[in-house]
Amino acid sequence: MFESVHVRRDGFSFPIEVSAHMFSLHGSRVILSMCRDISDRKKSEKAIFESNQKLQLLSSITRHDILNSLGGLLLFLDSIPKDSLSPATMNNLEQILNYALKIQKQIEFTSDYQQLGFQKALWQDLSSCFWRAVNQLDIKTVKISEKLTGVEIFADPMLEKVIFNLTDNALRHGGQSLTRIDSYYRIDGENLIWIIEDDGAGIAPDIKEHIMEKGIGSNTGLGLFLSAEILSITDMTIKETGETGKGARFEITVPKEMFRLTRVVKQGNPNDQP
């Protein structure tokens, strides 16, 4: 099935959807082609696209204005003399500052969420995507390794954000025991299981089952939620399977239609390889 443009005898052109089927008829191979006028659908798609563009512009302007106002509030809070304030007043100011910073992070999150699904999904080299994300972070002395060479995933262009969020989450919450972050894959039936794990503190038992939900976690509670949403665009799912006290482990299930191997390498944790 494909789309094309049909031209009538009078020169008028209009979009069509063409489907073709081959079958046997009285011992001969026959191709049956059907064309469907999709002018109305294309008009609707154009109207939706233009509406989304206008909403994107309105959201961007609104977000910019809110962030500017928050910037002024934070500057004002910072300029208040603290020496003569009572402990109770200082505590109130700290609460105001914390709420302002939280609002700032939530507004910044809407910028990422606004881009979700706006661009078409595409095939992405997983190893290259992984290092582009990791190189944006201050990993300090943590060892980063991956065994993803030859894996391509069909995903939203924001896939890099998923890797950034999961790695950043490990660096933020892994604690003093964190020394490494590894990423690798294994084949499970027809699916590919992509793993990102660390040897840090792990996920607390009381939030383990809900860690991918909005508002869960000790920071904004939005990064992992966004990651799950990005992956779901191309039918990928994510779950946390680590052990508390031994590290977090995120397993991403990639359906068979959404990955391809351009080079077969030995699967498993790179730290387990000789």
Instruction: Give the strand pairing for 151-155 and 28-37.
Output: unpaired
Half-sphere exposure of 245 (CA within 13 A, CB side): 1
Q: Which helix (H) or strand (E) holds 162?
A: helix 159-173
Q: What is the pLDDT of residue 274?
A: 47
Tens place of pLDDT for every residue, the chain, 274 residues?
Answer: 888 998 988 999 999 999 988 888 888 889 888 899 999 988 888 887 787 778 777 777 888 888 888 889 889 888 888 888 899 999 999 999 988 888 887 787 677 667 666 778 999 999 999 999 999 999 989 999 999 999 999 999 989 999 999 999 999 899 999 999 999 999 999 999 999 999 999 998 888 888 888 766 665 567 888 899 999 999 999 999 999 999 999 999 999 999 999 876 666 666 665 4
Q: What is the pLDDT of residue 150?
A: 95
Task: Supply 98's token pair.
Answer: 């914390």
Question: Are the C-beta atoms of residues 142 and 105 closer than 8 Å to each other?
Answer: no
Q: Rounded to whole angstroms, how far apart are CA atoms 209 and 112?
A: 24
Q: Which helix (H) or strand (E) holds 102?
A: helix 87-114
CATH, range 122-272: 3.30.565.10
Q: Rounded to whole angstroms, how far apart are CA atoms 256 and 157?
A: 19
Q: What is the pLDDT of residue 170?
A: 94
Q: What is the pLDDT of residue 21?
A: 86
Half-sphere exposure of 108 (CA within 13 A, CB side): 11
Question: Are the C-beta atoms of residues 233 and 117 closer than 8 Å to each other?
Answer: yes
Q: Rounded to whole angstroms, how far apart are CA atoms 103 and 113?
A: 15
Question: Are the C-beta atoms of residues 136 and 167 closer than 8 Å to each other?
Answer: no
Residue from 161, 169, 160, 171 nearest 127 by CA: 160
Strand partners, 197: 182, 249
Domain boundaries, the chain: 2-37, 50-114, 122-272
Q: What is the pLDDT of residue 228?
A: 92
Instruction: Give the strand pairing for 249-254 and 237-240.
Output: antiparallel
Residue from 107, 113, 39 nearest 73 by CA: 107
